[in-house]
Chains A and B, each alone.
Chain A
């Protein structure tokens, strides 16, 4: 494995919680599922989780501590105070899911206490494991305990669900572009702000509350979060059913962990929002282990120690160094370009925005339809009057992928490229601007849903634009944007049937418009 791994901090046992919540005084440690699995097949902590899921599955859906009810908190056709309250495409995405995991973990822990298959040490210290899929093979595969239809005892395995993406079910691995948090962690700002068509979602999502037309989602919510949802597929591919797949909770623990990884970064230091409209104004409702109503606000969950848990480690993955620092792309893309740039050139930080509105420079005339194949669309940005006054050269350039709708849950995420010259796989990365995970595209198309506005992604492509301009590769009259499906990597010794399974028909996804904004 060539991807380096830097351990920023390691949580130690015995460090007391910073705040005593009374009921749960012990700080618990959420561990990497693949490390558990590699230490011991059907590790006691995994068996305990399977028991929790089995017990929760045996409860009626009306019981707030059943798996069906817990999944319905995330998404349900009927909404109430608790159900169908998941927060997507908003800056509440991370805190809401942290609360959601917290109460789910409590319910699991209570269920485990009643199982005779779990030893007392495991009962005392159990916490949800997380799935860090970004450490190369085999961590990018579903852990074996989630793929076996039966437990070692020959009972039905509660961690197994049918209907997942067949290649994932067969042991395929998610490619690095799906699992990597590199682009998300590189974001300096928690939120991309509100208003304006070229407002990115930042790291954690756009400011919402008085939103219209749908904002762009945060980068962590896009990749790896959404990309993993879509790639695992099946129940994981839809809001309403995602929580029914036991891997969902491990996936979200990893997203929760990555929030803390982001928070711990320095130069520049990162910070969570501190305004009242994020920290206190919005109250969320959940159910505790007895099914009673409990409420939390985002400001109360920024420190996991206040919730009596920590992660066993906070590794910063460097799976894709080429997208860690966007500016590194300039010498990668055009070796000669560096010398032509001012000494010490660095792409402006994302928060440096000129004091003028972002202007539409060009867009596609017709929608782009994705059906599982590579598709390209071209348009002109040769606008004669993007700005009223000089300078005519934009300080920031954005690529928007907008008005995305789908007939059903998309089968695969797509990688987006600008001015891709050929089909040479080895040079692809230099022209990539990121992924559109498409998670939630079907829900966003349903006029009855909570988010009927369609999906939108905003990519800051300033550095790529400048480098291409420099190298004469940006043709105003013909900007080409390519969408390539991101496929699961075949496991070793995979059969032809596996490749066939990968080619299953997928619901068509329609991208209403691809546009470039100058600012």
Chain B
């Protein structure tokens, strides 16, 4: 009798059920992914309000839709390295603390744009901020920030120490992510809802750069893409 035979016989399962189960096991961050997806749906179907608070709510939705996806690998790392009963808590602490800086900076920026009333310059703001994002792609600071996004922290197993470590990692990751992606989010801040197509492109760039192991190598391709988008907005309107 071998050890394999000694184990309880596995019930026969259909292949795709097995794959689904494995996928489910391997991706504890699926809850956060669902939040991001919900934000996209809301952005697609909700009408745009041009009131101050409407703009603020819109910013939070865009933040969830665009900045949660690149953070999913880090959330996965934290959740897989936490005990099962505190897994969701760890994921929420990480995501919450990493989005904090974004929420505050964004609220201030969006509020400022609304107060000054830059509505008329929307096209110039949008095109210009895309060109700024293109330039930022090529700076050493962007490259450094992307590497910093991959840095992790030891996570104690239990209690307040574990909570604090999740928050500390979240704040540090959020800071690195802000330095890496502020220019990609600038169009959203200055021009409100810039259209789902453009948002998908910007999210795609952010996700690719953070998820791929050496994402900073994508910088020149991203810069070209952003320049083209910026020129199109400026020339075609």
Give the interface of A toward B (CB within 8 A): 195-197, 208-214, 342-349, 352, 355-357, 359-367, 379, 383, 385-388, 395, 402-403, 447-448, 450, 452-454, 512-513, 515
Contacts and interface: CB of A to CB of B under 8 A. Distances in A.
Contacts of B193: none
B7 A395 contact: yes
A387 B25 CA distance: 12
B6 interface: yes
Contacts of B89: none
Contacts of A360: 81-84, 157
10 contacts: A197-B77, A211-B213, A212-B77, A212-B150, A213-B74, A360-B82, A360-B83, A386-B84, A450-B214, A453-B152
Given A195-B26, A365-B161, A515-B81, 20 more contacts: A196-B26, A196-B80, A210-B211, A212-B76, A342-B1, A348-B4, A348-B7, A352-B3, A356-B25, A357-B28, A359-B83, A360-B84, A364-B156, A385-B83, A385-B85, A447-B147, A452-B148, A452-B151, A454-B151, A513-B155
Given A365-B161, A385-B84, A348 B26 contact: no
* Residue among B147, B150, B157, B212 facing the most chain A CB atoms (10 A cut-off): B157
Nearest to A383: B83
B18 interface: yes
A343 B1 contact: yes
A453 B151 contact: yes
Nearest first, the 9 closest Cβ-Cβ pairs linking A and B are A512-B154, A212-B73, A513-B154, A213-B77, A357-B25, A363-B157, A403-B154, A348-B3, A197-B80
Interface string B129-161: 000000000000000100110111111111001
Nearest to B73: A212
A342 B6 contact: yes
Contacts of B214: 450
A212 B2 CA distance: 36
A512 B150 CA distance: 16
A402 B153 CA distance: 10
Contact of A379 (B10, B77, B157, B213): B157
B221 to A, nearest CB: 16
A434 to B, nearest CB: 21
A356 B10 CA distance: 13
A344 B2 contact: yes
A502 B4 CA distance: 47
Interface residues of B, number: 40
Interface in B18-74: 18, 21-22, 25-26, 28, 73-74
A50 to B, nearest CB: 37
A415 to B, nearest CB: 22
Interface string B195-237: 0000000000000000111100000000000000000000000
A402 B2 contact: no
Contacts of B212: 209-210
Nearest to B155: A513
Nearest to B7: A395
A366 B162 CA distance: 11
A366 B165 CA distance: 11
A427 B226 CA distance: 64
Nearest to B211: A210
Contacts of A386: 83-84
A403 B153 CA distance: 7
Contacts of B2: 344, 346
